Structure 1
Amino acid sequence: MTPQRISIELTNQCSKHCHFCYNHSHHLGETRWQADELVDFIKDCAKSGTKAVSFGGGEPLEYPNLFEVLSELQGVLFRSITSNGLHLHGDLLEKLVIANPDKVHLSIHYPEQKEEVKRVINQVKLLDSLGIRSGINLLVPQSKLQVATQTSQMILEAGINRERIVYLPMRKMDTPTPQEMATVAGGKPFQSMTCLMQCGISSRFCSIAWDKTVAWCSYTVSRRSLPSLTAVSLDAILQNLPLVFCG
């Protein structure tokens, strides 16, 4: 059965170029997705049971056909994007509002950088005012637990409630424990990765990279190339696909 939720990396281009990026995105990145084939593929998956698609990268706002794809998929399934927010102003912001995604999550990659934290908080509030549902992904490295805790509190004090924050543990390096994550979240229920407690396959989710390789999650090195852009092909490639722990 086709996964209910699919994450698609539109590109590995990202001008932010974080050293810990799981797909090594950089400012000279590329994409292998054409807009029309991407739309047709997602529509085919929707017919087979996919309920939601999330677009990431790289930086999805650096994918030239993002707004065309979002518009073509309106009403087909739930559409969300995850962005660093650096380009979310001017013409791109206007186009995003017109494309009207169902949700936008902005990432705080460096909780110790107050300017980034303030920018993302202000952008989330701006999206709210423009009628775009939004939230924050807060990356938590083990070496920065105290400042991540302070950042979490700052977000909450800005009026962005816990239901709109996703606490993401740093993967592959500097990884906090689930208990440390709970401390950052203030000891109250919080949203995070499904693999926070234990690495494992979820048949309801898969990740497809910018180069059209498929995996059970964005972090694992265990991938297979998608031979054709159909739901049947996706279902077939997921059969017996292993999951290699990213830690």
Structure 2
Amino acid sequence: MNVNLKDRIAVVTGASRGIGYFTALELAKAGAHVIACARTVGGLEELDDAIKAVGSSATLVPFDLADMKAIDGLGAAIAERWGKLDILVANAGVLGTISPIGHTEAKVFEKVMNINVVATWRLIRSLEPLLLKSDAGRAIILSSGVAHNVRPFWGAYAASKAAVETLARTWAAETQRTNLRINSVNPGATRTAMRAQAMPGEDPNDLPHPSEVAAKLLPLLSPEMTETGKLFNVREGRMQDYRLPE
């Protein structure tokens, strides 16, 4: 599918590496101006070079999602410069530790919830007014298969992803009569640093490259996308409805 995003403004969090990096690059290739957010300045600068190489442009915003005031300020800065936002890719997240729930340190659990859930809510709150000003606002929130399939020792991360899916579904229901379309994404096992942290014995060459995942996400961000409040399973290449069978 050829997606034309010329002159559209897109925010991507966690854009310095992995799925976020390559999604930002795909957006740029399609003509969008990318507002790339991440903690790692070096990774953002590499992304900026790659985006310039494909003839597009980016605005780099280095900050930590734990900085809630910075998230609020992001919306204000976009409003002042562009007056609207067309695309949000809420990709950034942390794994925490793989351990029994009862053995997870409080500071680790709280960090996972803060970055994966609270920061996502702050992004929604900060950017929703701008997305609603777009003629075709589009948002995707990255989730995980562990939000649905119980996996021992993944409690904190799984709970955080179940929470952000619920946020996305609620947000989609609240905005279904607008031009905004919101969906969650389960990328499946992907060759990323987070996956390597979780599965250190796994051969990364057996996994899809994040660029393959990013290419499949682009149609979800197109003005032609009509689905909202659903889960896109990258591995299966299809949308899943949350409604239970009647």
TM-score, normalised via structure 2 length: 0.37
Greater share of residues in helix: 2
TM-score (ref. length: structure 1) = 0.37
